[in-house]
Structure 1
Amino acid sequence: MTGERGRLYITRRVWEKSHPDCIQSVYRSGRTSFMVWGAIGWGWKLKLVFLERRHGKRGINSRDYAEQVLEEVVGPFLQDMEPDTIFMEDGAKVHLGFAKAVRKALNIRGFSQWWPPSSPDLNPIEKVWRWIKARITQMDKFPTTLDELKQVV
C-alpha cells in the first residue's frame, strides 16, 4: 500500500516481522548540518556566528538565536551605529518569539515583520550564502567533517 509522499506500507503477520520480504533497507547518509548567522552592511561585515543548540534540544530556537546573536553580537554592534540604523531580518522562525522580546529590550530597530523569508531577490545576504555554497561545492578537496566545513565557511 502506498501512503502520502509515496511512502510504502507493508502489512504483515506478527511472525513475519524479520522476514526479508517485510524489511526495507534505509540508507543514512550521516549528513549533518549547522546554522550560521552573518550580517553585512555598506562597508562592514560582522563575524560569523555558528549557533549552538542547547543540550537536550533538537535544533536552534528563538532563545538560542536571541542569546547568541542578538545579545552577543547585534546589540553591542548597534550601540556604536547611528541611532536610525535598521536591522534587517527575514521571517525565519528563530527570529520570532523570544527573539522579538529581546530585540525590543535591546532597542533594536528593524522591519522583520514585513520582510519575506529567504528572499534572494530582496535580501542581499542571501546572495552571499549562495556564493559561499557554490564555492564550497567547487572545491577540489571537499570538507568531510563538520569542523572542516565550518573552517571553510
Structure 2
Amino acid sequence: MCVKKSELSLEERAKIVGLYKQSLPKLSMRAIAAFTGYGVSTVFRTIDRFKKTNSLQNLPRSGRPTFITESDRRYLKLCALRNRRKTLDVLTEDFNLGRKNPISKSVVNRSLHSWGIIGRVACRKPLLSARNVRKRLLFAKEHVKWSKKKWGKVLFTDESKFDLFGSNRRMYVRRMANERFVNSCLTPTMKHGGGNIMIWGGICTKGVTRLKRIEGIMNKKVYHSILVHRAIPEGKKLLGKGFVYQEDNDPKHSSHFCRNYLAKKEKCGDLVRMIWPPQSPDLNPIESMWDYVDVRLRKNERTSKDQMWHNIQRTWNEVPKKVLRKYIFSMKNRCKAVIRAKGGHTSY
C-alpha cells in the first residue's frame, strides 16, 4: 500500500533515482513504486524532474501557495458584486466566518484585483427614474443625426455657482515630506464655501452671452427678467431670429410664468424652444464650459466676491471660439453615449 506524503525528502528522491539509474535490467516505474512504497505518479515526477534538471531539488516556485481555492475566488467576486458598497474589512470578516484558516485583507484584495474589481470613489450623478431614462433615450435618438449646422443654431444656457473658498476639485501641490501643513501647501476652506456667486450664462458657436450675476434667491421672477433682458436679446444678436433656445427643467425654468412667456416668443418666431430631458447635465455642453472657467479661475487668488466676479467675467469673455465649437459639436457623441447607455448615465 502506497504511503501518502506531502513531499519527498532528498534521501527518498535519491533512492528512487538510484534504483532507476543502477538497476539492470532497467526497472519500470511501476516496479520502482512497488519496491519503495510510493505512488507511480510520484516516482514518475521525481525521475522526470531529475532528467530535466539533473538535480533532486525542487524547481523555483513563484511564492507561498495560495490560501484560497478557485472556488473561494469566485465566491469573493460574487460577494463583492452583490453589495458593491461593502468595505474590505467587512468582506474579509464575512468570508472568514466558519473558516478553519482565516485569510487576511491583503489576500481578499489581491483576489478581487485578479478579477478586475478595484475600489474606487463613486461618481456623483443625478438620480434617474425609469421615466427620466426613457426621455433621455428618446432625446438622444431624435438628435443624434443633427448636423453641425443645426447645433450651431442652439443657445445653451444654465446657471452655475462659484464658491469664494474651496472647490469640489482636488488641488495638487508640490511639497516636501514635512510640509503637509505649511500654508502654501493647504487649500483654505470655510463653512458654506465662505460665500458664493450665482451666475447665469449662455454659449453658442458664435460666442458667449453676457453673464448675469444673480443677487439673492433666483426664483421665477428673476429668471423671467433674465429671459426678457438678457437671454432672448443676446440669442437674437448672436444667432438671429428663430434661434433654438435650450434650458434645463429647473422648477423656476418650468414655471407657467416663464413657459408662457417663451411660448409667446416662440409663436411670434423669435425662438424655438428645445425640449430638454430631465436630469441630464451630462448632455449640456455648458457644464463643460463652467468647468473650463473654474479651472482658470483657480490660478488667481480669490479675496472677495467682487474680485472673483471680475475674474469670472474676464475669463468668460476670453474663451476662444474653437473651445465653444469643441464643446457644442460634442453633442453628437453625447447623444451616442446616452444611446449606448440605453438612457443611463454617461462619462460626460
TM-score by length of 1: 0.64
* Correspondence for 1:46 among 192, 206, 209: 209
* Correspondence for 1:116 among 265, 278, 292: 278
Contact 1:39 1:125 in 2 (8 A): yes
Task: Name the amino acid aligned to 1:96.
Answer: S
1:106 aligns with 2:265: yes
Alignment of 1:33-72 (within 5 A): 33-53=196-216, 59-67=217-225, 69-72=226-229
Quote the residue 2:79 is aligned against: none
Contact 1:87 1:110 in 2 (8 A): yes
Task: Name the amino acid aligned to 2:297.
Answer: I
Quote the residue 1:88 is aligned against: 246
Alignment of 1:18-29 (within 5 A): 28=191
1:72 Cα deviation after fit: 0.1
Task: Name the amino acid aligned to 1:36.
Answer: I
| Structure of higher CA gyration radius | 2
Task: Name the amino acid aligned to 2:306.
Answer: D
Aligned residues: 117
Quote the residue 1:133 is aligned against: 294
Quote the residue 1:75 is aligned against: 232
SS state at 1:143 partner: coil
Distance of aligned partners of 1:119 and 1:111 in 2 relative to their CA distance in 1, 3 Å threshold: same
Residues 64-118 of structure 1: per-residue CA shift (max 9 Å, x gap): 0111x10001222344544442101112233121322221233342124x33345
Between the aligned partners of 1:51 and 1:90, the Cα distance in structure 2 is: 17
SS state at 1:93 partner: coil
Between the aligned partners of 2:191 and 2:258, the Cα distance in structure 1 is: 34
Quote the residue 1:13 is aligned against: none
Distance of aligned partners of 1:128 and 1:63 in 2 relative to their CA distance in 1, 3 Å threshold: same
The alignment-based identity, stated in percent, is 23
Task: Name the amino acid aligned to 1:49.
Answer: K
SS state at 1:95 partner: coil
Quote the residue 2:310 is aligned against: 151
Contact 2:209 2:235 in 1 (8 A): no
SS state at 1:96 partner: coil
Unpaired segments of 5 or more residues in structure 1?
1-26, 54-58
Distance of aligned partners of 1:29 and 1:44 in 2 relative to their CA distance in 1, 3 Å threshold: closer
Task: Name the amino acid aligned to 1:70.
Answer: L
Q: Higher relative CO (CA 8 A, sep ≥ 6), structure 1 or 2?
A: 2
Distance of aligned partners of 1:30 and 1:44 in 2 relative to their CA distance in 1, 3 Å threshold: closer
Contact 2:220 2:253 in 1 (8 A): yes
Alignment of 1:5-16 (within 5 A): none
Structure with the bigger percentage of helix: 2
Residues 122-149 of structure 1: per-residue CA shift (max 9 Å, x gap): 1111101011112222x2x421211011
After superposition, the CA RMSD in angstroms is 2.3
Unpaired segments of 5 or more residues in structure 2?
1-189, 313-348
